[in-house]
Amino acid sequence: MSLQNNSWKSRLKFNPLGRSQKFSKKGVALLLAMTSLILMVFVASEVSTDSTIEYVVNSQEINRIKAFYSARSSLDLALLRVKVYQQASRMNLPPGFSQQINQIWQFPFAWPLPITTETSIATKDDVESAAKASIFDGQYTHTITDEGSKIDVNDLASPSKTLREITKKQILTIFESKIQNDEKFREVYQNYNFGELVNRIADWMSEKNSSENGGDKRQPFQGLGENYPPNRGFRTLDEMRLVPGMTEEFFTLMSGSVTIYGSKAINPNTTTKDVLKSLDPGMTDEAVTEALERRDDEDKGGPFKGASSDECRNDFKQFVESRGARLAPEFDKIPFQCDAVVNFKIEAIGMTGSGKGAVQKKITAYVMNTQKAAATIKSYLDKEKKEQDEANGIQPNPGANPGPKPSAPAQDPLPKGRPRIVYWTEQ
List, for residues 306-343, the tens digit of each pLDDT value. 888 888 989 999 999 998 889 888 888 888 888 778 89
Count of the separate structural domains present in the chain: 3
Determine the 3-state secondary structure of 147 from DSSP.
Answer: coil
Tell me if 408 is assigned to some domain: no
| Mean pLDDT computed over 382-406 | 67
Q: Is 163 found in the same domain as 203?
A: yes
Residue 228 neighbours by CB under 8 Å, 6+ apart: 218, 221, 242
Q: Is 141 found in the same domain as 106?
A: yes
pLDDT in tens, 178-232: 898 889 999 999 899 999 999 999 999 988 888 888 888 888 888 888 888 999 9
Chosen domain end from 303, 331, 359 = 331
For 360, the enclosing helix (H) or strand (E) is: strand 359-367
Distance CA 129, CA 115 (A): 13
Which residue would you say has higher pLDDT here, 305 or 25? 305
Q: Is 162 found in the same domain as 123?
A: no
Tell me if 68 is assigned to some domain: yes
Determine the 3-state secondary structure of 81 from DSSP.
Answer: helix
Tell me if 10 is assigned to some domain: no
Q: Is 112 found in the same domain as 68?
A: yes
Residue 112 burial (CB count, 10 A): 15
Residue 284's alpha-carbon distances to 182, 280, 323, 324, in angstroms, are: 15, 9, 9, 7
Tell me if 9 is assigned to some domain: no
Tell me if 18 is assigned to some domain: no
Tell me if 2 is assigned to some domain: no
Tell me if 39 is assigned to some domain: yes
Q: Is 141 found in the same domain as 61?
A: yes
**In the prediction, which pLDDT does 410 show?**
52
Q: Is 358 found in the same domain as 317?
A: no
Q: Is 33 found in the same domain as 111?
A: yes
Supply the range of the domain harboring residue 320: 273-331
Tell me if 201 is assigned to some domain: yes
Q: Is 33 found in the same domain as 140?
A: yes
**In the prediction, which pLDDT does 405 show?**
45
Residue 175's alpha-carbon distances to 171, 172, 239, 266, 278, in angstroms, are: 7, 5, 19, 19, 9
